[in-house]
Amino acid sequence: MDLLRLSPVPATTHGASRTITDLALILTIAAVSIAANALLFAIPITTTLLGTVATGCTALAIVASLAGALSAQTNNPILGPVLVIPGAAPILQAALAQSLTILAGLTLVYAGLAWFLWPHALGEAS
Amino acid sequence: MKTNSSTGSVDSAPPWRPLARRVTLWATIASWLALGYLVWYVAPDWRGVADVSAPYTRKILFYHPASAWATFLAYFLVFSYSVAYLNERDHRYDNPAAAAAEVGWFLNTLALATGTVWGTVEWSRTGQHPLATVYTEPKVLVVLVMWFTMSAYLLLRRAVRDPDDRARLAAVFGILGFAGAPLSFMTSRILQTSLHPDIAGPGANPDAAVGPTVGAVIGFSVVAFSLLTIHLWLTRWTMLDIADTANDPDDPEHQHA
């Protein structure tokens, strides 16, 4: 964390890079899961399904990366999943209903919040 | 007001707080005595009414909405003081946020418990266990999400030792967590049909409309719960300030052998 803070770039950039890395990981897992489900259970891959997964994963990556930054600074990294729950709940609710509009709205809200909170989460803002 | 940067302790309390605590204490006692009288002697007694199977459970109506409202009030205090802390990095905003979270967690538990009792008796879906009916209800899920949020906030505070880091991380989570509750509320309200009756406000269900007497008692219970919330919050805030001062190594009066 100290090395991260010493890097000569704004904290928001750290947040964005961490979020993009997490998003790549989540999307890879989602792609493998969708492919496995399509093969094993003959689930049709529709544009709605792909859009829901892509938008939901983006929102989840934003929230989970920020919660990860918070839990990494505690003595108890297992706190991470607990901190994700409040942010992830509305994403899961909208994803279960396959509502792309609400998911897109949630993604925008969380992206705006993350933009404001990342510098504070890393202790850079004063 | 001065703050000690090494411990985060607040050196003096706001001058209005002792008076506010005293006023809210007596107002809370008076309002709760009045609420008890209104609930048991003025509000309708549903015993003997044909379609009411559990008349005493219906009395929960006078406590459940108010406890949910008080939870939102406490959490709004957490959110407000978290924003203030991040803007000014002043420790005088940290203890009120922590105190509001503790009070909010207690009220949230109360709202969840009363809602569960109400739902298991009043709601039913064919072939489903009553608890499953209650905990698949969108509004109950929102209250449950809030309960997890408050629990996570309190766990986060206990997991960080450094006062500056603790206040900063808790403030960040206070804002992120507060955003989750209304978003979850809106999402579930837009997407699903609900068994939960909306007795007042925009989109209220006409079938769930209550009479003027019941409405007035519910309104009064909201006032009583708000007073209780404010008093508990002020008291807990005072206790946290005292604990900080007692742990301050720079204060010679509080150094123990």
Q: How far from chain centre, in Å, is Cα B157?
A: 18
Please indicate whether, in this complex, the C-beta atoms of B183 and A90 are within 8 angstroms of each other. Answer: yes
Q: Which residues of chain B have pLDDT under 50?
A: 1-2, 5-7, 254-257
Measured CA to CA, the distance from residue B116 to residue B138 in angstroms comes to 13
For residue B182, give the chain A residue with the closest CA.
Answer: A90
- Give pLDDT, residue B135: 74
- Strand residues in chain B grouped as ranges (E): none
- Give pLDDT, residue A56: 93
Please indicate whether, in this complex, the C-beta atoms of A90 and B89 are within 8 angstroms of each other. Answer: no
Q: How many alpha carbons lie under 13 Å from residue A64 in its C-beta half-sphere?
A: 20
Measured CA to CA, the distance from residue B246 to residue B257 in angstroms comes to 13
- Give pLDDT, residue B26: 97
Q: Which amino acid is at A75?
A: N
> Does the model's pTM come out above 0.90?
no
Taking contacts as CB-CB distances below 8 angstroms, the residues of chain B near A83 are 152, 156, 173
For residue A71, give the chain B residue with the closest CA.
Answer: B156
Q: Which amino acid is at A111?
A: A
Measured CA to CA, the distance from residue B191 to residue A94 in angstroms comes to 8
- Give pLDDT, residue B22: 94
Q: Tens digits of per-residue pLDDT, B131-176?
A: 777 777 777 877 888 898 889 999 999 988 888 999 999 999 999 8
- CB of B213 within 8 Å of a chain A CB? The answer is no
CB pairs under 8 A between A and B: 98
Q: Which residues of chain A have pLDDT under 50?
A: none
- CB of A109 within 8 Å of a chain B CB? The answer is yes
> Could you say which of B146, B161, B168 has the minimum Cβ distance to residue A123?
B168
Please indicate whether, in this complex, the C-beta atoms of B89 and A82 are within 8 angstroms of each other. Answer: no
